[in-house]
Amino acid sequence: MDCIFCKIANGEIPSATLYEDDMFRVILDVNPASKGHALILPKEHAKDLYELSDETASRALTLARDMAAKMTDALDCEGLNLVQNNGEIAGQTVFHFHMHLIPRYRGDTVKVGWKPYRLTDEMKTELLSALK
- Per CB under 5 A, residues contacting Zn ion are 3, 5-6, 45, 96
Residue partners of 13: CB distance under 8 A and separation at least 6: 4, 7
Sheet holding 17-20, edge to edge: 17-20, 24-28, 38-42, 99-104, 79-83
10 touches ligand AMP by CB under 6 A: no
Tell me, residue by residue from 48 to 67, as one string, x for binding to ligand AMP by CB under 6 A and - for no binding. Answer: --------------------
- CA angle 29/35/60 to nearest 5° reads 50
Q: By C-alpha distance, which of 47, 128, 122 is closest to 87?
A: 47
**Interface with ligand AMP, residue 81, by CB under 6 A:** no
| Minimal distance, residue 32 CB to ligand AMP, in Å | 8
Sequence-ordered list of residues with C-beta below 8 angstroms from that of 36, at least 6 positions apart, any chain: 28, 71, 74, 75, 77, 101, 103
- Please, what is the minimum distance in Å from the beta carbon of residue 96 to ligand AMP? 9
**Which of Zn ion, ligand AMP, none has residue 94 at its interface (CB below 5 to 8 Å by kind)?**
ligand AMP
Which one of ligand AMP, Zn ion, none is in contact with 6 (Cβ closer than 5 to 8 A by kind)? Answer: Zn ion
Binders of ligand AMP among 88-107, rule CB under 6 A?
91-94
CB closer to ligand AMP out of 5 and 132? 5
Catalytic positions are 98
Q: Which of 107, 94, 114 is nearest to 31 (CA)?
A: 94
Binding site residues, ligand AMP, CB under 6 A: 4, 15, 27, 29-31, 39, 85, 91-94
